[in-house]
Amino acid sequence: QWWFEPYTPESSAPHSLALKPANTEKVLDAGDDTVLISWRTQVGDALQRAKTQPYFIVRTGAPIRDMNGHTVGSFSHLIAKARWDTRLQVAQAELKDAAFSLMAPLRVVHAVGEVDKNDRVIPRVCLNNTTATDENTFTPTDVVAQAQIIGLADAPSMGTQSNLAIMDKGGVDGVNPNQTWFLVDVLSQEKRDALSVTRTRGQVELVKVFERYSLIRIQHSEREVMRGMYLQRAT
């Protein structure tokens, strides 16, 4: 229940809705299973749609940065699912001008961790979490055989662990989903970009190849995987 959100200057993250306890005197936790969200809409039947749509409560981790400090994106984790809470009656604002404010009470129906007031709410209809496929084709400017891990999804703030990670090479570096990549320890390195002697410590699967980096899944590893760990392509 994870996905990676690439960073773009125009839209750094998908639009989402603010979350707060239905009873503002309570701290939002697993025991307080109703939350409120609100948004402005111009859709006349938005209220009826809101009552029938499922919702996702998601948590975004810290930004993933490359070795030069540039943000490449962040991981998001599905914390809970929610539906319209029929136990609560909420007075809705009347339609004025072209838009009105809609208030939706949501009941958490399934949670994998404690919901936090800083989490985000995304209507299911607005979330595209289809299976990752490599639809983009890139013209490689180089064909590399070595890479590094620049970020992991299993941050403590996310509330759980995942075997997803980001490596710092992508389609323009000659990476493609059919390649085999290994986690390695460096035993000898003559210069910064040349690993002369390595020891295989595990294997990864390429999940999605972006232009300048790739989403990978750690299949197995003999040691703890950390940021900066090297990867080597099978020849």
Three-state SS for the chain is: CEEEEECCCCCCCCCCECCEECCCCCCCCCCCCEEEEEEEECCCCHHHHHHHCCEEEEEECCCEECCCCCEEEEEEEEEEEEEECCCCCCCCCCCECCEEEEEEEEEEEEECCCCCCCCEEEEHHHCCCCCCCCCCCCCCCCCCCEEEEEEECCCHHHCCCCCEEEECCCHHHCCCCCCCEEEEEEEEEEECCEEEEEEEEEEEEEEEECCCCEEEEEEEECCCCCCCCEEEECC
Given a cut of 70, the residues of the chain with pLDDT beneath it are: 9-15, 23-32, 94-99, 127-136, 155-161, 189-195
Amino acid at 181: W
Whole-model pTM over 0.75: no
**How much is the pLDDT for 95?**
61
**How much is the pLDDT for 208?**
92
Work out whether the CA dihedral 161, 212, 191, 202 comes out positive or negative: positive
Cβ atoms 56, 81 nearer than 8 A: yes
**How much is the pLDDT for 12?**
46
**How much is the pLDDT for 219?**
92
**How much is the pLDDT for 38?**
80
**How much is the pLDDT for 14?**
52
Token pair for residue 158?
A: 């996310």
Beta bridge partners of 221: 202
Residue 128, classified by CB atoms within 10 Å of its CB into exposed (0-12), middle (13-18) or buried (19+), is exposed
**How much is the pLDDT for 30?**
52
**How much is the pLDDT for 85?**
87
**How much is the pLDDT for 13?**
47
**How much is the pLDDT for 173?**
95
**How much is the pLDDT for 59?**
87
**How much is the pLDDT for 132?**
47
